[in-house]
Amino acid sequence: MPTVLGDKIRSLRKTNGLSLDQLAVKADISKSYLWELENRDAANPTMDKLSQIAAQLNVTAEFLLDKEEVSPSDDVADKAFFRKYQKLPPETKKQIQDILKVIQVPESKKE
């Protein structure tokens, strides 16, 4: 019987249009390990493996482990984006920063 973790991984994988094979390759884990996470009730992944999966699904490992939250909030998406941003090379970060300078945030959206 799948766990909440397994259900979340499967749901997000399908939402992102990824097969088991594709997600396994992207997350650098075996397909059988991913299948076990999705389908077994005794799944106990390491934080490293869980973080790799979460990064490919554009969520956080914390979200995947949260038994209460069923769909990722904007905050989860922001944290996942920022974690990917942190791993980018400096020149790519600079390009993104330059793009953000051009984008004007309406006054009603500013905090």
- Per-residue pLDDT of 54-106, as tens digits, reads 999 999 999 998 888 777 878 887 888 888 888 899 999 999 888 888 887 66
CB 47 within 8 A of CB 60: no
Burial label, 73 (beta-carbon count in 10 A; 0-12, 13-18, 19+): exposed
* Integer Cα distance of 86 and 69 in angstroms: 25
**What are the Cα distances from residue 78, in Å, to 20, 36, 74?**
25, 28, 6
What is residue 76's predicted lDDT score, i.e. its pLDDT?
83
* Integer Cα distance of 85 and 73 in angstroms: 18
pTM: 0.72
